[in-house]
Amino acid sequence: MNKTDVLNKALILLGQGVIIEPSAEVIINKVYDNVKERLLRSHPWSCALKDYVLDHVNDVPPFKFNYMFVVPSDCLRVIANFQENTIAVRKGRYLYSDEPVLKFVGISNIEEAFMSSEVISLLAYDLAIETCMAYTSDKNLKEQLRTEREIMLARAKMNDVKESSETEVEYNCGWGLR
């Protein structure tokens, strides 16, 4: 899946024709990045989780912490999952802590190729909802898309929890040794 595929899914939901080049659709392309980031930030989707390890920058923090870190540009959201007994505070593009190295899990602004099929579908719905009035002026269609999206969101979150939960996998080989 790529950006063009996602745009086409959204346009099909709106009853529009498909495109070959994303730049051909100015309206939906204009809102794409914001809609994508909003969706990824809205839930810790397992496909978007990334482990980060940051070294501090040499600047002295402006308040009580000893170290300052720059949040990577691909990190949309820091999940408060720091190493044990570590306190860190985020302000803007910086994290502050008393630890010289900071480890955390964050939500990464991943490419479409790495998104689960459910997140791709939600993104297409979000784009369709966001641009529905511009393309169709149909309030009923927009409401129908919202209703379908809510059902899809509940399923996606349920499946994402199942997929990302820690379970022990037991493997039994049926081959005997002779």
Secondary structure (DSSP) of 117-151: HHHHHHHHHHHHHHHHHHHT--HHHHHHHHHHHHH
Least confident interval from 45-59, 91-105, 142-156, 163-177? 163-177
Shared domain check, 132 and 94? no
Order of strands, sheet of 94-97, starting from the edge strand that comes earlier in the sequence: 67-70, 94-97, 88-91
Of 21, 18, 14, 102, the C-alpha closest to 65 is 102
Shared domain check, 50 and 39? no
Instruction: Give the pair of three-digit tokens for residue 56.
Output: 């501090």
Residue 131 lies in a domain: yes
Shared domain check, 121 and 104? no
Residue 75 lies in a domain: yes
Q: Tell me the pLDDT band of 172, cut-offs 50, 70 and 90.
A: very low
Shared domain check, 98 and 53? yes
Residue 91 lies in a domain: yes
Residue 58 lies in a domain: yes
Query: What is the structure's pLDDT at 55?
Result: 93
Residue 72: give the domain boundaries: 46-108
Query: What is the structure's pLDDT at 88?
Result: 87
Shared domain check, 55 and 30? no
Residue 175 lies in a domain: no
Shared domain check, 94 and 14? no
Name the pTM for this structure: 0.84
Shared domain check, 93 and 130? no
Shared domain check, 99 and 51? yes
Shared domain check, 101 and 123? no
Residue 165 lies in a domain: no
Dihedral angle at the C-alpha atoms of 132, 138, 139, 142, nearest 10 degrees?
-40
Shared domain check, 138 and 95? no
Q: Averaged over 22-42, what is the pLDDT?
A: 92
How many angstroms separate the CA atoms of 42 and 74, rounded? 15
Cβ burial, residue 72 (10 Å; 0-12/13-18/19+): middle
Shared domain check, 40 and 123? yes
Handedness of CA 27, 30, 31, 37 (dihedral sign): positive
DSSP 57: B
Q: Averaged over 147-163, what is the pLDDT?
A: 90
Shared domain check, 131 and 79? no
Q: Averaged over 85-98, what is the pLDDT?
A: 88
Report the domain count for the chain.
2
What mean pLDDT value characterizes the chain?
A: 88
